[in-house]
Amino acid sequence: MTGMLLERRSLEFNGEIEDGDPPRKFDWDQIQAQLARLPMRVKGKHPSYRGVKIKHNVHVKLNWTKLSIFYELEYWSFLTLKHNLDIMHIGKNVMEVILNTLLINDKSKDIAKARQDLKRLGIRSGLWFGQTKNGKCSKPQAAYSFTPENRKFFLTDNDTNIMGLKSHDFHVMMQRLLPYELQQYLPDEVAKPIIELCSFFKQICFATLMEDDMLKAQIKVVDILCNLELMYPPAFFDIMIHLVIHLPLEALEGGPIRPRWMFPFERFMKKLKGYVRNKAKPEGSITEGYVAEEVIRPNHTLKYI
């Protein structure tokens, strides 16, 4: 049974089975050894370089091309989590890509070049097509799309562009609204991976996270993305889709997502932008408005931070 499944799955791609190892994770000593091998460079376009930016040395196999200025901090080299992936922007971009592709609008990833990639790779011949008008498929036939036949909840069929949605709108739509809509209008085998992805984002946003759950989520998200690769073209999988894989492991290092996401900071920035009265000097306007309101209401910032 397993052999038949592998054979059927291999036909969806190039007929070969990928048995390579995942990317290797470097420990602290290995990272420090690679950083020590980096050449000392003068900042900017130094005259000794003849005003030309130094290119990456392909003969030196390193993961970095220059030493970050943060390594001048004494504690920086010992941090296990040196960066923070913002789930607010990742969820917003992932949700936007999914909706645009489902609706086959102007920002859809299912375009002529994506179908040509499938033909060039020799995979999924059922999704190949010839010359199209304006570089887009004039009659979407993909099973993963809201085609005019099953897109019954739209008033018009000629305008499916998404306008005016904010990051929190995409957040709510992914975790609350989209799973229900997918069950109503798409086949189960198509809707299931997207619903599982929405459930993954809902789980990762919990106020309390368990270590065992994050380890299981790390394995689950790999299966979800593999199932999505069976439906969507290669152009669908940009860097934002890839960053989803790192969220569970980052949660193990940094803890729950809520104290680290950008929602409160974005709201507070909107509050500060409201103080601007003189657009020629926005910093002064923000300072005067903030100080004035702080004198009137000393604790007015608590609800934003």
Sequence-ordered list of residues with C-beta below 8 angstroms from that of 93, at least 6 positions apart, any chain:
240
Q: Is residue 70 part of a domain?
A: yes
Output the six-digit token pair for 123. Answer: 């995979």
Q: What is the pLDDT of residues 276-286, one digit of tens each?
A: 988 899 999 99
Least confident of 2-11, 34-43, 60-69: 2-11
C-alpha–C-alpha distance, residues 20 and 6, integer Å = 16
Q: What single DSSP character describes residue 148? A: T
Q: What is the pLDDT of residues 149-202, one digit of tens each?
A: 444 444 344 566 777 788 888 898 888 888 888 888 888 888 899 999 999 999
Q: Is residue 296 over pLDDT 60?
A: yes
Question: What's the pLDDT at 84?
Answer: 86
Q: Is residue 28 part of a domain?
A: no
Q: Is residue 66 part of a domain?
A: yes
Mean pLDDT (the chain, rounded): 77
pLDDT band at residue 11 using 50, 70 and 90 as cut-offs? low
Q: Is the same domain home to 242 and 109?
A: yes
- Tokens 């459930």 identify what position? 199
Q: Is the same domain home to 268 and 250?
A: no
Q: Is residue 221 part of a domain?
A: yes
Amino acid at residue number 233: P
Q: Is the same domain home to 114 and 198?
A: yes
Q: Is residue 7 part of a domain?
A: no
Give the residue from 18, 45, 79 where a domain finishes: 79
Q: Is the same domain home to 251 and 268?
A: no
C-alpha–C-alpha distance, residues 169 and 174, integer Å = 9
- Say how many C-beta atoms besides its own lie within 10 A of residue 9's C-beta: 12
Q: Is residue 136 over pLDDT 50?
A: no
Q: Is residue 134 over pLDDT 50?
A: no
**Of the candidates 140, 245, 232, 137, the residue with the CA atom closest to the CA atom of residue 190:** 232
| Residue 83, φ and ψ in degrees, nearest 5 | -145, 170
Q: Is the same domain home to 127 and 163?
A: yes
Question: What's the pLDDT at 140?
Answer: 41
**Of the candidates 229, 200, 227, 233, the residue with the CA atom closest to the CA atom of residue 104:** 233
Q: Is the same domain home to 169 and 232?
A: yes
Q: Is residue 5 part of a domain?
A: no
Q: Is the same domain home to 185 and 45?
A: no
Hey, which residues does 111 pair with through a beta bridge? 136
Range of the domain at 283: 263-296
Q: Is the same domain home to 239 and 192?
A: yes
Q: Is the same domain home to 269 and 217?
A: no
**Mean pLDDT of all residues in 46-71:** 64
**Mean pLDDT of all residues in 35-60:** 61
Q: Is the same domain home to 280 and 207?
A: no
| Total number of domains constituting the chain | 3
Q: Is residue 196 part of a domain?
A: yes
| Residue 82, φ and ψ in degrees, nearest 5 | -90, 0
Q: Is the same domain home to 175 and 229?
A: yes
Is the pTM higher than 0.85? The answer reads: no
Q: Is residue 17 part of a domain?
A: no
Q: Is the same domain home to 97 and 151?
A: yes
